[in-house]
Every structure is written in structure tokens, then in C-alpha cells.
């Protein structure tokens, strides 16, 4: 992908993110003009960016939405939910395109837009001179105008049955109409009457949407713009064009000869007043009108000339940039945009640095066992290096950190759709969206969270009738909370629904053979409720559009565990359910314990280990084909790691057995090993190539002496 596109992707994603956040905020406070401005700017920038990379489809789509927005801006009325939805839909479409670009490295070939939109034709960043001119020429109508249209019919449009002027004159609430020519008029004798040479412009008091409907199917190029409500330009400020016009009037007045004086004064006065009306400075316009009358009465240009000059001077003094703009520029220059790939390179280099440091650690150990005189200072240097590497690592990983906002902010939208399609009223409360986590985690998080929330709405939240019967508010509340817990990020999804029906869980687990009868009887309530994460479990009594897609909560668990997280659920009958997802803050560092089995060294992630015990071999009892030990009155199944991995039984002559007791998502089991080694921090490399997907192995890491350590997937082994 070329740099241009790359930059485009990065920028657009940022803008879309911000715009989506603003839109959702706007939905809550539909009168917030600042938010609306922000959204409008975002769409405008998106359009510009699309233009730069020549992605016409996106440019058109964004432009059409931008028109709707500017229409809304012009009316000054609160923003409707439909408009927000339309904007969000447009952003979704843009995101889809961005994904395609990212995947293919090319602009997607989009030829048709789902809504044929005549407003989609754009003249780009020309600044819509025509609109300004049109408004200035029709100052009287400009005040009531809500939208403007410029229609350049195709030259041969008459043959397509198009009657452009009739079409324009048929516009709803037409306020002004004007024509111009595409090319200069030829001589009458050279003129082809069946070629259209006209440019039609019109102002209407109807919203842009109405114009768009009216212009649909027109043969030609059509641009519809919303006319911004005449925003009073801060007193003492003039737009550059207004300034230009006023200055021109002074020049005109100055060169006026006595003979044409009254006409000139009247014309200049009217123009100046119109300019001010167009700038929504009606008071000044009145001043000009009065000055004009005085000038006419006194037959001298002075009163009018002075009035105009005064306004121009005042404007010059008040044209300093506003502090707000200055602050924004400063904030912008403090951030640096870096390609994620460069940061990944840095992360990789740092992990190699860690491996080198571990190798030095190994050397230190060797030196000490050999009583090398260098051992002491080597050890000191190693410790220093260890500290520095840890710091470098933390900073580098810190670069990959993203706030969860980028994921969380996608949910309000999703939730609205879900709650309406399920006919349940749900409000989403988000807490701690500023909590940060590693980019990899943040990016993976959306789907699992989406599924959890879906489940909450679908199965947790009762129907409004049911809620009313239980004395709850008809609107259910789903809370999405995130907080940092030392090395982890805890994300909780809570609903105030009916809670999980344990009896039903038990019944379903039995009928779908998720767990055996005995196992079910032995389970505590907490264990029972966590069965919803078991493969093949789903309590949906009716298959719904949302949850009944054959992926259950087991998919959630799999996704979360794949990135080293854990998921659990607590529920209180009638009060609600909370699903907790505990994720590592960063995926890169894993603390592992090395163990030996069958003469080979393996790693076990420390967070899977509950404890390590040494028990007499005789205490391992055979139960059918399997074996188990009793630890603190609890029976724990035991597997021999060497046997499980097909390494044959290791030296089985010891009288004592070393058993690592692991606990993965409530699944407890003992793993018999020959020896427990050391704890270390490692950067896990996922298995790839031929080894990808090897069951029972989550990844590998390099040991200090260069050997590859296979790190076990305890969850898979215990199952």
C-alpha cells in the first residue's frame, strides 16, 4: 500500500472514531451546536480526504451526509435521531471501505451507491463560490433560505426529456432563481437550440432533503447545499469577501462624478447593507441604510462612506484569532502519529533484547557455579540490564496502549439496534472507557463483548411487561465497566435483568450432555452458572436473530482465553447478571513456570497454576481409567504430563510425586511432572507455520541458553 493510502487510512479511522463519539453525544444532547460543528467538520474532512485519494464513492456518500448535516445546522433545530442514524450508517459504510482498503491495499471498486443521490455530485473544495454569489445577489431571500441548489444539466439533456427550468421552478418553497451559462453564448446563427448551455441556481426555504428528493433522476450535475443559518459573525468581524465588497463600495463612492451621484450612493448603500444582512449583522445593515438616506439627502458621499469605513476599521481590529483555535493547535502538535507496524518492530526488538538479557542471566549462573571471579560484577551488570530492559519494555508496550474507548463507543449504536429489534428498552451505561489496554487486546475485544451484551439483552433483560410485573423500570440498564487491576484489565458487563435460572442451566446441561449427572450434583452454584461458557450450551428457548447464531458463550470464552484472559459470570436471581472478563494489560509478557516431564522442559503459564504440591506416589488413587488425588478434602483428577504428551513415563521410581495444580476457568486438575523449575517472564511467540494449531501448546519462548521452551495450554490439557 502506498504511503498516501496508509495515511488516509490512519486519518480516516481517527476521524470516524471521533465523529461517531460526537454523534452519540449529540443524540443525548441534540441541541449542542459545538458537537454538531464537530461532526460536520469530521464529515467535511472525510470528504476532503476521500477527494485526495480520489475515492469518488466515499466522497459522494460522505458529501450526501454532510449535506443533511448542514441542513440541520441551518435550521438550528435539535438533531433528530434519524439524522444521527443516517450519519452513523454513513460512518459504518466508510469503515467498511477502510477495512477493504486495509485488506487489499487498494481502493474498493464501488460503482453504485445504495441511495442514488443527486446531491452526491460535488464540486470539491471549491468553497461553493456559487452559493455565496447566489446568496449575495439574492440577499432578500437569503434570510429565509434553508437550502440551495445548482443544477448543470447535461448538454443533451433535452433529448432525455429533461426540462431543467421546469424542474427547478417546481422546487418546493422556491425563493430565488437564477441562470448562468456553461460556455459563452455563441452567435444566434451558430446556436444549437437543442444543446443546453445553462447553469441553474436556486434558493429554497425547503430542507436539502426535500430538494434531493425533487432532483432525483435529473439529467445533469446537481449540487445541493444547506444554507447555514446566518450566523452572526462576531461583532467586529467580517468575512474576507464581505470585506472585499465593502472596500469596493468605498472605491466606487470615491470615484463618483456628481452627475451620477444619487444612483451610485443608492447602489453602494444597498450593496453594503445587503452584505451586512448576509453576514447576519442586521443592525449594521440598518446603519448603512440610514447613512445612505443621509447621503442622498445631503447629496454627498460622506455619511455612507464614513459608515462603511468605520465598520471596516472595527473589523480589522477584531480579526485576531480566537484563543480556542490557538489552544487546539498547541494540543495537536503534542501528539505524533506513528504507524503501528513501526511500534510492532520496536516491540519485537525489545523482546529480542529480553532474550539476550536472559541469556546473560544464564551466563551469570554458569560463572557462579564455576566460581569465576567475574561472576560478582557480571551479576551486578545483569541486574542493571534487567532493570533497564524492564523499563524499555514497559515504555514500548506503553506505546501500544489504547484506551478502551475505541471499542466501547461502538456499543451504544449496536445496542440501539439490538434493543429495537428485540423490542426491549435498554440503556447502556459506560464507565472507565479511558482505561487502557494493549492494542491487540483492545482490537480483539469487540466481538466477545458484543456477544456478552447480546446475551444480556436477549436472555438477561426481561420484556417490558415482565419488568413492570417485577416492579422494575421498563428500561433496563446494561453497564459496561472497565478498570485497571494491577497487571490486568477488568471489564464487566452487568444487566439488571432476571438473572440466570440455575434450575434451567442444570436441566439444559443435562439434556445437552454438557456435564454428567454426578458432576452437576457436585457443582456449587458458581460452578453451575459458569456452565454457560461450556461448548454446546445455550439457554435461548427461542432462536433469535441476535443470539441464536450457533455461537454461544463458549466462543466468548475461547476468544478471551486466546489472549490470556479469563471470563466468569455471577448472577442473582431477579436482580441481574454480571459477566467479568479479566484480561492481561499486555499480551506480550507471560509469567511462566518451567517444569520437566519425560526429560523435557516445558513452560506452564503461572496464572493457570493454583499451587504446587508434593504427595506420596501412593496417595494417587486410580479411579477407573483415570487417577486422582485428594487435596484438602477435594478430589482432583491428575494427569501425568509425560504420558499425556506421548513422551512415555518418566522416571517413576520416586516415592513422592510433584503435582502442579492448575485452575483454568474453574476447571481444576493436577499435572504430574518430574521436576518444577524456575519462574520466569517470557514473551510468548504464537506457534506458526507447520506447528500452528498444535493442540496443548499455546506458544513458545526462548530460554537463556537458546533452547526453545514449549509453553503448555493447560486448559486444553485438562479437557
Partner 1 sequence: MTVHLLDTGVIELTGACPSEDAETLLQQLLLAPDAQVDWRSCESAHTAVIQVLLLARPRMLGAAAGPGLREWVQPLLGGGGGDG
Binding residues for partner 1, rule: CB under 8 A, are: 153, 158, 162-166, 169, 174, 177-179, 185, 188-189, 191, 193-194, 196-198
Residue whose CB is less far from partner 1, 155 or 390:
155
Q: How far is the CB of 406 from partner 1 (least distance, A)?
A: 52
Please state the closest distance from residue 157 (CB atom) to partner 1, in A: 8
Q: How far is the CB of 169 from partner 1 (least distance, A)?
A: 5
Which residues face 604 on adjacent strands? Answer: 593
* Residue 183 or 369 with smaller CB distance to partner 1: 183
**Selection from 437, 386, 370 nearest residue 585 by Cα:** 437
Q: Which is nearer to partner 1, 197 or 425 (CB)?
A: 197
Residue 383: left (phi > 0), alpha (psi -120 to 50), or beta? alpha
Dihedral angle over CA of 516, 517, 521, 522, nearest 10: -30
HEC profile for 368-435? HHCCCCCHHHHHHHHHHHHHHHHHHHHHHHHHCEEECHHHHCCHHHHHHHHHHHHCCEEEEEEECCCC
Distance CA 623, CA 3 (A): 64
Q: Which is nearer to partner 1, 174 or 228 (CB)?
A: 174
What does DSSP assign to residue 232?
A: P
Question: Which residues, in sequence order, are CB contacts of 20 under 8 Å at separation 6+?
Answer: 88, 91, 409, 410, 413
Q: How far is the CB of 70 from partner 1 (least distance, A)?
A: 25
Q: How far is the CB of 221 from partner 1 (least distance, A)?
A: 15
- As measured in angstroms, the least distance from the Cβ of 141 to partner 1 is 12
Q: Which is nearer to partner 1, 35 or 139 (CB)?
A: 139
Residue owning grid cell 497487571: 487
Lookup: cell for 323? 484563543
166/341 with CB nearer partner 1: 166
Question: Rounded CA gap, 60 and 51, in Å?
Answer: 9
CA distance 441 to 450: 14
134 or 467, CB closer to partner 1? Answer: 134
620 touches 531 (CB < 8 A): no
Q: Which is nearer to partner 1, 193 or 689 (CB)?
A: 193
Distance in Å, CB of 137 to partner 1, minimum: 12
Contact 714, 671 (CB under 8 A): yes
Question: Among residues 197 and 570, whose Cβ is nearest to partner 1?
Answer: 197
- The dihedrals phi and psi of 593, each to the nearest 5 degrees, come to -110, 130
Residue whose CB is less far from partner 1, 190 or 329: 190
Q: Cell digits for 544?
A: 433469535
- Cell matching residue 688: 506458526
Q: In whole angstroms, how close is the CB of 227 to partner 1 at the nearest point?
A: 19
d(CA 324, CA 467): 48
User: At how many degrees (to 10) do helices 261-278 and 240-254 cross?
Assistant: 170
Quick one: three-class SS letters along 63-107?
A: HHHHHHHHHHHHHCCCCCHHHHHHHHHHHHHHHHHHHHHHHHCCC
Which CB atom, from 188 or from 329, has the smaller least distance to partner 1? Answer: 188
- Distance of closest approach, residue 133 Cβ to partner 1, in angstroms: 16
Contacts of 435 (CB under 8 A, 6+ apart): 403, 404, 482, 483, 484, 489
Minimum distance from residue 12 beta carbon to partner 1 (Å)? 41
Smallest gap from Cβ 202 to partner 1, in A, equals 9
Alpha-carbon separation of residue 678 from 85, 383, 606 (angstroms): 56, 17, 11
d(CA 682, CA 47): 46
Nearer of residues 4 and 191 to partner 1, judged by Cβ: 191
CB of 156 to partner 1, least distance (A): 11
Amino acid at each position: 500500500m502506498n504511503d498516501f493510502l496508509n495515511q488516509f487510512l490512519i486519518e480516516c479511522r481517527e476521524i470516524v472514531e471521533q465523529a461517531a463519539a460526537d454523534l452519540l453525544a449529540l443524540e443525548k444532547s441534540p441541541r449542542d451546536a459545538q458537537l454538531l460543528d464537530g461532526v460536520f467538520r469530521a464529515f467535511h474532512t472525510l470528504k476532503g480526504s476521500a477527494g485526495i485519494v480520489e475515492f469518488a464513492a466515499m466522497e459522494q456518500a460522505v458529501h450526501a451526509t454532510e449535506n443533511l448535516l448542514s441542513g440541520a445546522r441551518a435550521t438550528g433545530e435539535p438533531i433528530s435521531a434519524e439524522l444521527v442514524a443516517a450519519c452513523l450508517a454513513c460512518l459504518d459504510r466508510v469503515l467498511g471501505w477502510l477495512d477493504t482498503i486495509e485488506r487489499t491495499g487498494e481502493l474498493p471498486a464501488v460503482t453504485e451507491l445504495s441511495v442514488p443521490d443527486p446531491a452526491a455530485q460535488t464540486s470539491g473544495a471549491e468553497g461553493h463560490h456559487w452559493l455565496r454569489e447566489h446568496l449575495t445577489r439574492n440577499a432578500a431571500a437569503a434570510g429565509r433560505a434553508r437550502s440551495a441548489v445548482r443544477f448543470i444539466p447535461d448538454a443533451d439533456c433535452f433529448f432525455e426529456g429533461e426540462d431543467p427550468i421546469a424542474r427547478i421552478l417546481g422546487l418546493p418553497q422556491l425563493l430565488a432563481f437564477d441562470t448562468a451559462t456553461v460556455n459563452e453564448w455563441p452567435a444566434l446563427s451558430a446556436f444549437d437550440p437543442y444543446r443546453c448551455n445553462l447553469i441553474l441556481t436556486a434558493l429554497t426555504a425547503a430542507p436539502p432533503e426535500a430538494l434531493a428528493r425533487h432532483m432525483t433522476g435529473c439529467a445533469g450535475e446537481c449540487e445541493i447545499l444547506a444554507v447555514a443559518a446566518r450566523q452572526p459573525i462576531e461583532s467586529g468581524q467580517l468575512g474576507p469577501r464581505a470585506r472585499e465588497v465593502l472596500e469596493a463600495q468605498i472605491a466606487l463612492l470615491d470615484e463618483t462624478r456628481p452627475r451620477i451621484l444619487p444612483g451610485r450612493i443608492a447602489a453602494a448603500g444597498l450593496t453594503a447593507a445587503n452584505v451586512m444582512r448576509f453576514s447576519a449583522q442586521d443592525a449594521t445593515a440598518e446603519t448603512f441604510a440610514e447613512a445612505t438616506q443621509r447621503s442622498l439627502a445631503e447629496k454627498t458621499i460622506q455619511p455612507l462612506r464614513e459608515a462603511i469605513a468605520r465598520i471596516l476599521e472595527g473589523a480589522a481590529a477584531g480579526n485576531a484569532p480566537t484563543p480556542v483555535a490557538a489552544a487546539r493547535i498547541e494540543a495537536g502538535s503534542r501528539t505524533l502519529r506513528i504507524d503501528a507496524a513501526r511500534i510492532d518492530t520496536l516491540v519485537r526488538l525489545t523482546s529480542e533484547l529480553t532474550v539476550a538479557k536472559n541469556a546473560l542471566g544464564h551466563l551469570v549462573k554458569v560463572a557462579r557455579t564455576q566460581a569465576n571471579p567475574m561472576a560478582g560484577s557480571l551479576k551486578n551488570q545483569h541486574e542493571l540490564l534487567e532493570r533497564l530492559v524492564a523499563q524499555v519494555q514497559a515504555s514500548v508496550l506503553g506505546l501500544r496502549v489504547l484506551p478502551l474507548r475505541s471499542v466501547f463507543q461502538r456499543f451504544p449504536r449496536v445496542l440501539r439496534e439490538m434493543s429495537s429489534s428485540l423490542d426491549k428498552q435498554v440503556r447502556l451505561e459506560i464507565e472507565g472507557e479511558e482505561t487502557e489496554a494493549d492494542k491487540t487486546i483492545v482490537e480483539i475485544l469487540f466481538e466477545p463483548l458484543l456477544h456478552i451484551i447480546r446475551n444480556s439483552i436477549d436472555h438477561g433483560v426481561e420484556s417490558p411487561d415482565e419488568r413492570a410485573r417485577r416492579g422494575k423500570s421498563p428500561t433496563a440498564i446494561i453497564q459496561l465497566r472497565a478498570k485497571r487491576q494491577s497487571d490486568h484489565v477488568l471489564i464487566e458487563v452487568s444487566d439488571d435483568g432476571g438473572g440466570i435460572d440455575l434450575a434451567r442451566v442444570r436441566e439444559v446441561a443435562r439434556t445437552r450432555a454438557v456435564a454428567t449427572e454426578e458432576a452437576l450434583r457436585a457443582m456449587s452454584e458458581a460452578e453451575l452458572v459458569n456452565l454457560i461458557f461450556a461448548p454446546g450450551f445455550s439457554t435461548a428457548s427461542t432462536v433469535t436473530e441476535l443470539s441464536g447464531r450457533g455461537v454461544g458463550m463458549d466462543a466468548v470464552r475461547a476468544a478471551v482465553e486466546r489472549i490470556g484472559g479469563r471470563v466468569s459470570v455471577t448472577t442473582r436471581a431477579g436482580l441481574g447478571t454480571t459477566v467479568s472478563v479479566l484480561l492481561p494489560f499486555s499480551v506480550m509478557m507471560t509469567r511462566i513456570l518451567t517444569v520437566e516431564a519425560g526429560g523435557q522442559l516445558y513452560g506452564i503459564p503461572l496464572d493457570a497454576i493454583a499451587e504446587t504440591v508434593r504427595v506420596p506416589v501412593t496417595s494417587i488413587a486410580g479411579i477407573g481409567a483415570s487417577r486422582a488425588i485428594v487435596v484438602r478434602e477435594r478430589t482432583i483428577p491428575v494427569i501425568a504430563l509425560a504420558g499425556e504428551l506421548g513422551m512415555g513415563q518418566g522416571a517413576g521410581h520416586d516415592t513422592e510425586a510433584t503435582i502442579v495444580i492448575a485452575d483454568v476457568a474453574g476447571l481444576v486438575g493436577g499435572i504430574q511432572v518430574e521436576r518444577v523449575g524456575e519462574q520466569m517472564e517470557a514473551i510468548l511467540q504464537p506457534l506458526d507455520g507447520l506447528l500452528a494449531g498444535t493442540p496443548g501448546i499455546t506458544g513458545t519462548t526462548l530460554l537463556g541458553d537458546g533452547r526453545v521452551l514449549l509453553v503448555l495450554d493447560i486448559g486444553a490439557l485438562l479437557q
